[in-house]
Structure 1
Amino acid sequence: MVLDLDRTTVRQARTLARKVGRPIVRLAKAHTTVSVERATLRLAGLSGADAEGTPWVNRLLDAVRADVDLGHGVALPVWDALLREESEDLLTLAQKAAAGSVRFRLPEGRDATRAAAASRRAVGAGIKAIDKRRTERERLVRRIGDAPRQPWIYLIVATGDIYEDIPQAQAAAREGADVIAVIRSTGQSLLDYVPEGATREGYAGTYATQENFKLMRAALDETSRELGRYVRLTNYASGLCMPEIAALAGLERLDMMLNDSMYGILFRDINPVRTFVDQRFSRQVHARAGIIINTGEDNYLTTADAVEAAHTVTVSQLLNEYFAKEAGLEDWQLGLGHAFEIDPAVPESFRLELAHALLARELFPKAPLKWMPPTRHMTGDVFRGYLLDGFFNLAGALTGQGILLVGMMTEAVVTPWLSDRDLALQNVRYVLDAAGGLREDFRPAPDGLIATRARQVLGESVDLLTRMADDGLLDAIADGTFGLMRRPADGGRGLDGVARKSAAYLNPATQILENER
């Protein structure tokens, strides 16, 4: 600890974050969504899609919802139908339901007890499969070896074609990448279904599907054995299908998932209530699967000024920490996000970046922080961009960031060429190797600009949290507090897929994930 932050102020910030977050947790506990219920069906083993590409989980849930209120959950009506021998298995039941030949009811008494027990056995098998994949990861890391140091070098590969992504990802790992991120096709977060199968078309990314997860995981396992170090895989658990993608990630042994508490609300206009309900369930799955989450505070600084809005990043990090730990995640799973986005023309910009990065590092000393490269102020001048990325890499080394996303000199200008990626990896390797253990020698002056700025941002964060504790997080989001985006609680996509839980509500996945923590 080199900033000597006031411990009382730090405790106050966390206390306020809990006060702001608790009403959201109560809200999430009181509601369910179509995606939470579909994720439950996926954990029970239902997969595949009809001839039109609509997943069977969507077909089955829609049929149940037509007969039984969503607030009762999907488990009791579905397993009651199975026990009544409407069908021999989930897939056949979904097919019959889609054809309109099955009717669903909310069972009572002994029928409800039997349906609850049957659903718990089926969903429990899926959660045991996730447990097995977590154990498998731990065994592979021990057997193959891990990345030799942090920060882990994190690089994006996403052509739109999973079969093109695979050789590029393997080449990136051979060039030094520790984490491969397959970002999703633009717009997938707005789809209220998860596509099926291996996909070969995507815009600015590749579709997140179970088959794509499986193919890339197998390819990176092969490369991990070749290199003698375990290469991690990440994707996105956000958008309207956040819980389902989290479940699929656990089943296919992904290692990290983008999973921010507010990103979908702010930048995809997804309803806040839908997002917070889905987020809590997805983080419970991530906790069980041993997946590291990455949060998206860096996005705030692409729309708001990185100096003026620095405290909103800290506030969001504190809230993400609270929501994550409430859902069962541990410190080592909190890849809290922030970014190197101050305008280079601002005097002392590098010192200010160091102040913000050190503040995050010292507020969350056990978390593998995810440090994002400059994008907003990339101009197309590749020489300037390469230099900025070098400064970014140096800031990451000096401040002990855990996950360093590789910046490319054409970032946010054009889709980077493969040669851009190779040069970017050379840049980060040179800086990290040259800096070595420089962090242990870096001690900002106690009353210098860096320490003073960090204390200022922390103080502004406490002030904002104090106001939010009175007004509420939903009002703060509606007022444009984060990223200058105004998102009212009753607006946005997906609200029609939210339901308040009834007294008869049952979800075996939630029961297992919460009771076995």
Structure 2
Amino acid sequence: MHLDPDLVRRARALAQRATEPVVALARTRTTVSVERALLRLAGVEGADPERIPWANRLVDAVREQVGLEHGVALPVWDALAEQGLGGGHDGLVALAQRAYAGGVRFRLPAGRDATRARRAAARDVRAGVGRVDRRRRERERLVARIGDAPRQPWIYLIVATGDIHEDIPQAQAAARAGADVIAVIRSTGQSLLDYVPEGATREGYAGTYATQENFRLMRAALDEVSRELGRYVRLTNYASGLCMPEIAVLAGLERLDMMLNDSMYGILFRDINPVRTFVDQRFSRQVHARAGIVINTGEDNYLTTADAVEAAHTVTVSQLVNEAFAKEAGLRDWQLGLGHAFEIDPSLPDSFRLELAHALLARTLFPDAPLKWMPPTKHMTGDVFRGYLLDGFFNLAGALTGQGILLVGMMTEAVVTPFLSDRDLALQNVRYVLDAAGGLREDFRPAPDGLIATRARQVLGEAVDLLERVVDDGLLQAIADGTFGVTRRPADGGRGLDGVVERADGYFDPAGDLLEAAP
């Protein structure tokens, strides 16, 4: 693409400078969800008769009595000792039940009591992190023993009926039809719940609830079909919203392979407070790094609210910002499923060439990342024949530009919830294009002064200009000004701000300490 290497280096340096103040802010804050995630790593499961998780009940009780400025670990493990309860799942759930009944008085221990609590908390949390480590090694063994998808791009298909027991046979059928990654979309609105539902769920709107049991059931079903097919089928869900850290932990414990985890999606499209999001995101990405999970970012969403040509540089800026945040949290290049989309108005002259320019720019900037390429949605009209053709062009762009994760487009997009037959036709489209043109990338060399290369250089230059403004104004202010997705989100607004707590001197978080260290 003949990009100026000095300009590329400047873009990355600016993205790092833009994210550093936000990382510093995240390091000095905790949230109710971060503290609940720590408890879940230590073994807390289950819910009370009102279906509120015990993790929520424990954190709420500690916050009410002594606050969360020092973290939940010291008060909880001190109380376990005072109540004569052991650690792990049984002791923690028993403590939560007693606290719910008003039978526990929490305190912030000092001296030997504090030392005892620190050691006990670190022991229990270390056991949970060890389980995440074991699940990662289990994935590696299964891929080695069963086999992997024969090539990239991985074919990524969505399944979500609302009923996990209906999702399972549909997911297995999709894998048999060629899908390499199964994504279970969450029920609409779950990102706004400040708790994680418990158990297997059989009703959800436009998606299925993300719960630990649903993760376990789907992972077991995909393991079964993986052995049948002789290739490991990956499972995706969503670590976003108000419970981002907890869902990340549950994904690590149940061996999910990919998680939607974007630095700004919840802020822009769910009106979740920016500070809450960035604190939760950092912890969740540390968990993903440890678990060997590939994250998928959501830049494609910007192009549903902003013009795909005029706002192309905001996608590039967000990809660079997502990369900087991810690297700081410990994620490696192979775990960065940075997002972008085929959303230019097809009636625009040279629209396909412009799509190729944007896709090649992303591939050139992030050569080792498994980029996630999203199909057309904004300009689908209900004409299924036109939609099928657009999806074919999208698949061809993915093959030409070496995308890593290809989300299957549906010709009935934005018309109806796809039938199994729609999915089968969509998979046939993908298979035909990849079989016929999958190796075309090695022959495709845009002319150095042609429209494709010129457009890519233009977008990169615009991205650098925008990053310079973001560095000057601050990332939080840029978000408040509507820089991304034309949506204004001030740092002191949005859902979940009341769940953010500034850390005090002596704050103790054994989970964060373990995740900061190399596995």
* 1:372 and 2:374 correspond: yes
Q: What are the superposed Cα offsets for residues 405-448 of structure 1, whole Å, 9 maximum, x if unpaired?
A: 00000112221121111100000000000003100000000000
Report the Cα distance in structure 2 between the residues aligned to 1:246 and 1:465, rounded to whole angstroms: 29
Q: What are the superposed Cα offsets for residues 453-472 of structure 1, whole Å, 9 maximum, x if unpaired?
A: 00000000000000010000
Report the Cα distance in structure 1 between the residues aligned to 2:275 and 2:111, rounded to whole angstroms: 32
Report the Cα distance in structure 2 between the residues aligned to 1:71 and 1:271, rounded to whole angstroms: 19
SS for the counterpart of 1:229 is coil
1:249 aligned to 234, 238, 251, which one? 251
Report the Cα distance in structure 1 between the residues aligned to 2:435 and 2:277, rounded to whole angstroms: 41
Which residue of 1 is the match for residue 147 of structure 2? 145
Report the Cα distance in structure 2 between the residues aligned to 1:417 and 1:178, rounded to whole angstroms: 19
The answer to whether the Cα contact below 8 Å between 2:73 and 2:121 also exists between their aligned partners in 1 is yes
SS for the counterpart of 1:306 is coil
Amino acid at match of 2:367: P
Report the Cα distance in structure 1 between the residues aligned to 2:134 and 2:421, rounded to whole angstroms: 39
| Mapping for residues 181-330 of structure 1, pairs under 5 Å | 181-330=183-332
Which moved further from structure 2: 159-168 or 415-424? 415-424
Amino acid at match of 1:69: G
* 1:451 and 2:453 correspond: yes
Which residue of 1 is the match for residue 129 of structure 2? 127
Report the Cα distance in structure 2 between the residues aligned to 1:22 and 1:411, rounded to whole angstroms: 39
Which moved further from structure 2: 83-92 or 143-152? 83-92
Report the Cα distance in structure 2 between the residues aligned to 1:296 and 1:64, rounded to whole angstroms: 35
Percentage identity across paired residues of the two chains: 82
Stretches (4+) displaced over 2 A: 85-88
SS for the counterpart of 1:147 is coil
Report the Cα distance in structure 1 between the residues aligned to 2:283 and 2:69, rounded to whole angstroms: 16
Amino acid at match of 1:396: G
The answer to whether the Cα contact below 8 Å between 2:336 and 2:369 also exists between their aligned partners in 1 is yes
Q: What are the superposed Cα offsets for residues 189-227 of structure 1, whole Å, 9 maximum, x if unpaired?
A: 000000000000000000000000000000000000000
The answer to whether the Cα contact below 8 Å between 1:13 and 1:465 also exists between their aligned partners in 2 is yes
* 1:20 and 2:48 correspond: no
Q: What are the superposed Cα offsets for residues 104-135 of structure 1, whole Å, 9 maximum, x if unpaired?
A: 00111221111111100000000000000000
SS for the counterpart of 2:6 is helix
The answer to whether the Cα contact below 8 Å between 2:338 and 2:371 also exists between their aligned partners in 1 is yes
Report the Cα distance in structure 2 between the residues aligned to 1:160 and 1:148, rounded to whole angstroms: 31
* CA-CA distance at 1:69 after TM superposition: 1.4
The answer to whether the Cα contact below 8 Å between 1:86 and 1:102 also exists between their aligned partners in 2 is no
Q: What are the superposed Cα offsets for residues 228-254 of structure 1, whole Å, 9 maximum, x if unpaired?
A: 000000000000000000000000000
Amino acid at match of 2:46: G
TM-score in terms of structure 1 length: 0.99
1:411 aligned to 404, 410, 413, which one? 413
SS for the counterpart of 2:69 is helix
| Mapping for residues 488-499 of structure 1, pairs under 5 Å | 488-499=490-501
* CA-CA distance at 1:4 after TM superposition: 1.3
The answer to whether the Cα contact below 8 Å between 1:86 and 1:93 also exists between their aligned partners in 2 is no
SS for the counterpart of 2:237 is strand
Which residue of 1 is the match for residue 52 of structure 2? 54
The answer to whether the Cα contact below 8 Å between 2:317 and 2:467 also exists between their aligned partners in 1 is yes
The answer to whether the Cα contact below 8 Å between 2:400 and 2:438 also exists between their aligned partners in 1 is no
* CA-CA distance at 1:86 after TM superposition: 5.0
SS for the counterpart of 1:261 is coil
Which residue of 2 is the match for residue 360 of structure 1? 362
SS for the counterpart of 2:495 is coil
SS for the counterpart of 1:70 is coil
Q: What are the superposed Cα offsets for residues 265-301 of structure 1, whole Å, 9 maximum, x if unpaired?
A: 0000000000000000000000000000000000000
Which residue of 2 is the match for residue 437 of structure 1? 439
* CA-CA distance at 1:516 after TM superposition: 3.0
Q: Which runs of 5+ in 2 are unaligned?
A: none
Report the Cα distance in structure 1 between the residues aligned to 2:157 and 2:133, rounded to whole angstroms: 27
* Matched residue count: 515
Which residue of 1 is the match for residue 168 of structure 2? 166
Amino acid at match of 1:68: V
* CA-CA distance at 1:169 after TM superposition: 0.1
Report the Cα distance in structure 2 between the residues aligned to 1:263 and 1:411, rounded to whole angstroms: 21
| Mapping for residues 477-488 of structure 1, pairs under 5 Å | 477-488=479-490
Report the Cα distance in structure 2 between the residues aligned to 1:165 and 1:136, rounded to whole angstroms: 24
The answer to whether the Cα contact below 8 Å between 2:252 and 2:287 also exists between their aligned partners in 1 is yes
The answer to whether the Cα contact below 8 Å between 1:31 and 1:498 also exists between their aligned partners in 2 is yes
Which residue of 1 is the match for residue 69 of structure 2? 71
Report the Cα distance in structure 2 between the residues aligned to 1:38 and 1:328, rounded to whole angstroms: 21
Which residue of 1 is the match for residue 36 of structure 2? 38
Which residue of 1 is the match for residue 82 of structure 2? 84
Tell me how large the CA RMSD over aligned residues is. Answer: 0.6
Amino acid at match of 2:444: F
Cα 1:134–1:154 change in 2 (3 A) is same
Q: What are the superposed Cα offsets for residues 111-160 of structure 1, whole Å, 9 maximum, x if unpaired?
A: 11111111000000000000000000000000000000000000000000
Report the Cα distance in structure 1 between the residues aligned to 2:83 and 2:195, rounded to whole angstroms: 28
Report the Cα distance in structure 2 between the residues aligned to 1:177 and 1:128, rounded to whole angstroms: 31
Report the Cα distance in structure 2 between the residues aligned to 1:430 and 1:363, rounded to whole angstroms: 28
Q: Which runs of 5+ in 1 are unaligned?
A: none
Report the Cα distance in structure 2 between the residues aligned to 1:24 and 1:136, rounded to whole angstroms: 35
SS for the counterpart of 1:245 is helix
SS for the counterpart of 2:442 is helix
SS for the counterpart of 2:166 is helix
Report the Cα distance in structure 2 between the residues aligned to 1:413 and 1:25, rounded to whole angstroms: 41
Q: What are the superposed Cα offsets for residues 14-63 of structure 1, whole Å, 9 maximum, x if unpaired?
A: 00000000000001000000000000000000100011111000011111
* CA-CA distance at 1:333 after TM superposition: 0.1
SS for the counterpart of 1:120 is helix
SS for the counterpart of 1:71 is coil
